Amino acid sequence: MNDTVKKATRESYGEALASLGEKYDFLVLDADLAGATKTSTFKKAFPDRHIDCGIAESNMTGIAAGIATTGKTVFISSFAMFAAGRNFEQVRNSIGYPHLNVKIGATHAGITVGEDGATHQCLEDIALMRTIPGMKVIVPADDIEAKACVEAAINYEGPVYMRFGRAAVPVIYDENYVFDMDKAVVVREGKDITIAACGVCVASAMEAAEKLAADGIDAEVINFHTIKPLDKDTLIASASKTGRVFTVEEHSVIGGLGGAVCEVLSEENPVKVTKIGVNDVFGQSGPAKELMKFYGLDGEGVYNKIKESL
């Protein structure tokens, strides 16, 4: 992991759309937030394939569904609060139910939206989207993975929800990284505990693991970039080896990665699981870095919570 190189995954999303525009035939729809979601990058390169639907996310979803029925691949983009929250019925009934080829690029997810505050800090979107039958749910950890997941989504036949962030995060992987939508990545091997993380919290988990190592605790860190379907084999193998699992996510502890992990392990390999995330409260306004620290989701906070639990 290169802590000195940081980039927001929403930037990566916009760049990926633009760079893949020549290779694939798809359209991009936005809801008057092209500058913020970075689909403006695609708009500049392919103005005839970008549609601004205005501040009408549900209508945008219906338009995308209609276009998808003609055989086209369509991306829709907005803040996670609107793309998943305001949009839930339309995503469920117009995209999920007919299993259409619509990809949802949800930006500004989680508390790292920062100063926009609780109304825009969507901490429930993973829980909402993974309840929709057939919906893939992906939470990339860095710039490289974010770009790779966009291409993987294009090549997947069916709906995909991709969760991107506003704040710059450390780049973990290099250009040789190969993204497998259905396979989690062990980013650090260990034998004492398993730390399952996603998104911005993969970097936090890796930092916490290094601190734990100084205390003689060997942590295995796994990046579960795809939350649905969860890579059961990698999870069960690690849990069987360590016997103790911690989940870390920039999301509510209800229904997100922690919930998915508990669902698998309770049936397949019961071990103790501690969920680290936002504990059934709303977010608040503040700088992203300070909010991560306040909610104990930075490296130091994750380390302290694991030590306390152990």
Q: Which of the residues are catalytic?
A: 57
SS3 for 7? strand
AA letter at 80 = A
Beta-strand ranges (E) seen in 164-290 are: 168-171, 185-188, 193-197, 219-223, 226-228, 244-252, 272-278
SS3 for 272? strand
Please enumerate, as own/partner, the contacts of 300-305 that have beta carbons within 8 Å and a separation of 24 or more.
300/207, 300/208, 300/211, 301/204, 302/195, 302/201, 302/204, 302/205, 302/207, 302/208, 302/246, 302/248, 302/276, 303/207, 303/208, 303/211, 303/212, 305/246, 305/274, 305/276
Phi and psi torsions of 8, nearest 5°: -75, 135
Nearest to 76 by CA among 30, 21, 17: 30
Please, which residues have CB within 8 angstroms of residue 132's CB and are 6 or more apart in sequence?
A: 91, 92, 96, 159
> What is the full DSSP assignment across 213-242?
HHTT--EEEEE--EEES--HHHHHHHHHHH
Q: How many Cβ atoms are within 10 Å of 60's Cβ, its own excluded? A: 26
Sign of CA dihedral 18, 20, 25, 29: negative
d(CA 76, CA 239): 37
d(CA 309, CA 60): 45
